[in-house]
Homo-oligomer: A and B are copies of this chain.
């Protein structure tokens, strides 16, 4: 990774003069232009963003489809073990693009800042976004800055939208899952949600639980390059594995059978979940996905996934079957079978 030579190592806004973000930093006048010019342009530096146009114009490869997605990030705390709201805002949107098998190219970045946010906090987040974007090979090419009055926000909310290019010919979507498909997950589940909850609840474990926040687009590209028949990909964020599988079952009108003991969950995550009365299968990840793969390609897909840095701990956890009603069934270690429903209430607020 080339270091970004124009990137200021310390907050480029003089923090003696502006220790906190002011309403005027979102007002369209001099302070906003200073913030954009000195902080955002220097951190995200690329010629497209520097055009500072109301919208940014790019060439598009002929004959290629486009994937488009958006997410707002309202996680608290802003910094947590294994990541922060800035890296999440890049990884999360990159991952949503990857779920269509797209190669992520461009992101937008829109900040809603609460008046009074320490300028240095904003800078740390922006630096983290910049790092994450470079690692993911995406460019942040357009943006927006709003400041809301103290008490009308919560430090910082970030929205990113993303555009990716699709070069494969596969149909990867919830509607394309078929009976017989193998269900894989790309690693152990629930770490992101539990990393956040452990911080908030002050839980102490022998070792700190770190978020799994990571970009998975490169891993998905490897599967596509290897010719693996992918029917659907879904990242396992809010609502965890349970919500994701129920959504897919509904969309394809199938039954999904999961073998509980094959679902990878770390000991410390299990323990934290038990303490808080949570089901790990309801807990969000930020760097994990479920893959629905044609049965004959399942073992090969598992090998590729397991061999990738963000896919260590991948597992085949179940299969898809015919059904008259959409359903997710969980087979326990003692052979009992129960319905795995999606969560109904809200147990883990603001984890993403």
Contact = CB atoms under 8 A, between A and B. Distances in A.
Interface of A: 22-24, 26-33, 51-60, 62-74, 95-97, 99-100, 102, 106, 108-112, 141-144, 146-149, 151-154, 157, 159, 161-164, 166, 173-175, 233-235, 237-240, 243, 247, 251, 282, 284, 342-350
Contacts of A74: 112, 146, 148
Given A64-B60, A344-B31, A54 B153 contact: no
Q: How many copies of this chain does the complex contain?
A: 2
Given A29-B239, A343-B30, A58 B68 contact: yes
A111 B67 CA distance: 20
Nearest to A61: B60
Nearest to A99: B54
B71 A110 contact: yes
Contacts of A59: 65-66
Given A24-B346, A29-B342, A148-B74, A69 B55 contact: yes
Contacts of A147: 346, 349
A74 B148 CA distance: 7
A141 B68 contact: yes
Contacts of A157: 112, 146, 148, 157
A349 B67 contact: no
Q: List the 4 shortest-distance A-B pairs measured between CB atoms, nearest first.
A: A28-B238, A28-B239, A161-B161, A55-B69
